[in-house]
Amino acid sequence: MGNPDGDHPFLAWGQRAALFKDAEHPAAGKLYLNWLLTPDWQAAGQHGWGVRTDVTPTGTGIWDVPNARSADFAAFMADRADVERWRQTMILYFGEVASPPTPGWLGLAPTTHA
Question: 77-103 pLDDT, tens per residue?
Answer: 899 999 999 999 999 999 987 777 677
pLDDT of residue 93: 95
Question: 38-49 pLDDT, tens per residue?
Answer: 888 887 765 557
pLDDT of residue 46: 55
- CA neighbor of 71 nearest in space, from 19, 9, 7, 1: 9
Global pTM reads: 0.51
51-55 own/partner pairs: CB under 8 Å, 24+ apart: 51/14
Among 54-68, 81-95, 100-114, which range has the highest average pLDDT? 81-95
